[in-house]
Structures are given as C-alpha cells and as structure tokens.
Amino acid sequence: MDTWCAAWDHGQLDALDAVLAEDYVRYSAANEQPLSRQQYKDQIREVRAAFPDLTTTVDALLLDGDQAAMFWHSVGTFSAPLHDVPPTGTVVTTRGSNVLTFRDGKIVREEVTWDASELLADVGLPSLKSAFEPEDVAAVVDSPANPGTPPREMLKAFNKQFITGVTVVATKDETGAPRGLALNSYVSVSLDPPLVLVCVQKTSSTYPALFRASHVGISIMSSTQGDALSVFSSKDKDKFSQVAWHEGPQGSPLIDDSAASLEIEIKERFQALTHTVFIGRVQYAESTEDAPILYKAGKFYDGRGLQQL
C-alpha cells in the first residue's frame, strides 16, 4: 500500500507501474468508460493539483486468492480549481473502497466506489450533470406551431414570454472588495424554511467570489435605479464606486434604494454545466413599496405602470 500513498500523497505516479499491469483498467460507477493506467495517473495528477496536501490512509486490506478489497479515506484542502470549479479552501474528508484483481503479481482490474467527482459532493457541490444528457435534447418533441425548430430556439421563444424582476447579486472577494452582477434568475424556493436560489454563469467575473462566499446579498432593482442597473449589467471592474450601497449584518453588499434586499447564507451549490445554482437561507431582509424594474425579451420596463387584473 506504500505505492498508493506514494502516488496519491506525493505525486510519484511512476510508482504505480510496479503494481499496475500494462493492460490495467479501472472501473467506476461515475465513469461511463473505464480508465487506462495512464488515464488513472492523469486523474491523480488533477486531484493532487486541486488538493496539494492530500493524504490517504488505508484503513483495511482483505486478501482472497487473486483478489483483494481495500478500504481507505483521504483528507485534503480544496486549494486550487478542480476542472471548472473554483477552490473553496474547505478541508475535505472522502472515503472509498476498491476491489483489486491480480494476475502474475500485478493489478489488472480495479473496481472502485469513488471517482474524482465525489470530492465535489464531499465539499457540498453535488452535480446536476445527469439532468443534461445529450439524449435529452434529442428527445424534445417538435412544436406543432414551429415544426423543425431547434430546441435552443424553442426555449428562447418560450423565455421571451416570461416576465421577471431584476436583481443585483453581490458579495466580497478574498481582499474584502465588493463584487456583484445583475441577473434575473432569482427564485423563492420556500417560506419555511426561508430559502431562495440564484443561478450564475461560470464565466462571470463575479463567479469565483460568489462561489467562495458564505453569505451573499440580493437586491431587487427598483424603477428608479436604471443607472445602477446599467452599471451592474456592464463589465466595469469597479462597479461599487458608482453606486450607493450598505452592508447586511454579515457584510454582504446591498444596493441603496432597492425595492427590496436580502442577505442569505449559502447552503448548496449545484453544478449545472455552464452555471451554478446557489441555494441560500435568508438571514436578513428589508423591503419598500417601490415598484421594481421588469425584464422581458431582452428589454427593461418600468414596473410603476402595472395594472391589477
């Protein structure tokens, strides 16, 4: 088992050549295809880059003829990106078991209960990937009104008919500087417990700060805040120098004169391909009777003209 520790704890990947056969394959429920010996090394390299202080302990080893079962746990700090997920600085403990099959003294087959994606689940980042399999897109039925329309265009047409408010979602980065962006993907999840969600694109410059944050401010833009909305819809690097704002009890930036504002504690971060869904528990709220800005089909509208049906 010294070989496993040499590879996983110290990055000495060539040490595996002494115990893994040339035709070695590694099976995991999380991988559609088995990994070769080189692909397994690449996986270790990726994980160690994200968790450079990773240490592995073999808790038990059971031998039975040409097979063995190994039970282990690893501890490490999420210090660098893993794929497209920014580091959180969280210390993670993950566990797993492996069933090994030997031939001529070397391992030819390995079946594991763990995959690199398990680290994200242990950090509190379950993935929604299974909801976005390619065959789901092909399964979309043509619209009778628009036969042959690609699913992407069908969804765009649907979204154009949906009216939302507009929020500014903000937090502070590792230097203490406020960071924020405008978005309309806000949803109230439940009142008891008080949960809300926002969905943020991973390419946003604010995304890394939001991902690492424990608390986030959400401000609903009022109809008098057109200028502030323009600022937060831009790529300006110093947005908060152009608007008035104040802090929530946990320090999250809230925009002055908003129709309403919340401060939430982030409870879940779901990976959804190009976006992350943040679910948070409301810790603080303030509201006014001011009308909100409305968003529909790429344009903004003054909410003061609403008429009750």
Tens digit of each residue's pLDDT (9 = 90 or more) over 176-206: 999 999 999 999 999 999 999 999 998 898 9
3-state DSSP call for residue 305?
helix
Considering the domain architecture, whether residues 190 and 258 belong to the same structural domain is answered as yes
The domain spanning residue 194 has which CATH number? 2.30.110.10
Domain presence at residue 201: yes
Q: What ranges make up the beta strands (E) of the chain?
A: 20-28, 35-36, 55-64, 67-77, 91-103, 106-112, 164-165, 167-172, 178-183, 186-190, 195-201, 215-220, 245-247, 253-255, 260-272, 275-287, 293-296, 299-302
Considering the domain architecture, whether residues 74 and 12 belong to the same structural domain is answered as yes
Domain presence at residue 264: yes
Domain presence at residue 138: no
Domain presence at residue 147: no
The number of distinct structural domains making up the chain is 2
Determine phi and psi for 277, rounding to 5 degrees: -95, 115
Confidence (pLDDT) at 3:
84
Considering the domain architecture, whether residues 167 and 85 belong to the same structural domain is answered as no
pLDDT tens digits along 151-164: 777 788 888 888 99
Query: Can you give 235-273 as a three-state secondary structure string?
Result: CCCCHHHHCCEEECCCCCEEECCCCEEEEEEEEEEEEEC
What span, in angstroms and rounded, lies between the C-alpha atoms of 50 and 82? Answer: 5
What span, in angstroms and rounded, lies between the C-alpha atoms of 165 and 290? Answer: 13
Considering the domain architecture, whether residues 82 and 174 belong to the same structural domain is answered as no
Considering the domain architecture, whether residues 86 and 181 belong to the same structural domain is answered as no
Residue ranges of the chain with per-residue pLDDT less than 70? 1, 29-32, 115-149
| Helix, strand, coil abundance in the chain, percent, nearest 5 | 25, 40, 35
Domain presence at residue 146: no
The domain spanning residue 79 has which CATH number? 3.10.450.50
Considering the domain architecture, whether residues 167 and 301 belong to the same structural domain is answered as yes
Domain that holds residue 281: 162-305
Q: Rounded mean pLDDT of the chain?
A: 86
- Tokens 């580091």 sit on residue: 87
Which residue type does 296 have?
K
Considering the domain architecture, whether residues 208 and 301 belong to the same structural domain is answered as yes
Q: Which of 96, 125, 154 is the last residue of a domain?
A: 125
Domain presence at residue 23: yes
Confidence (pLDDT) at 139:
47
Q: Within a 13 Å sphere around the CA of 305, how many CA atoms are in the beta-carbon half? A: 4
Considering the domain architecture, whether residues 166 and 295 belong to the same structural domain is answered as yes
Confidence (pLDDT) at 29:
66
Considering the domain architecture, whether residues 282 and 203 belong to the same structural domain is answered as yes
Domain presence at residue 276: yes
Secondary structure letter of residue 26 according to DSSP: E
